[in-house]
Amino acid sequence: MKRSMQSMEDAREKLTELESSIRTEQAESYNQLQQKAVYVVSVLGGVVALIGLLLILLSRVMIIKPWKGELTHRIEQSGNGELGDLAGAYNGLMHVIEEDKKKVEEATAVAEREAQSAHEALAGLSEAQKEAEDARRQGVLDV
């Protein structure tokens, strides 16, 4: 009986050691799995960020670069979401800028015409002043 009790005690110790070993292996496996999950999520996050940056760069190149200052280009509004709102805001901004550019061009043309008229008037005044000086020297005009 003593022998069977000793055997049972030995079996219990081995079972406890085996259970401890299994728990240690499970903890190590869990840590390794957790590290791999963090790595995968980090890589996916980086890929998503790169794709986002590429989309932003492509959209800037596609929207602005081909037209090089042409204000008549409009973006097609295809939807009611945020991109549709952005396209509508861009189109509205381009309309306002185009109208302002036309007003500036018209005001510039008017200013150039008035400057030309003023230049011609000054040239006429200068000619009249010369004639008056000549007349005064000849004694025709007393001032």
pLDDT tens per residue across span 23-70: 888 888 888 888 888 888 888 888 888 888 877 776 665 555 445 566
How many CA atoms lie less than 13 Å away from 134 in the CB half-sphere? 6
pTM: 0.41
Percent of the chain past pLDDT 90, that is, above it, reads 3
Q: What is the pLDDT of residues 86-114, one digit of tens each?
A: 888 888 888 888 888 889 989 999 999 89
Structure tokens at 140: 């025709």
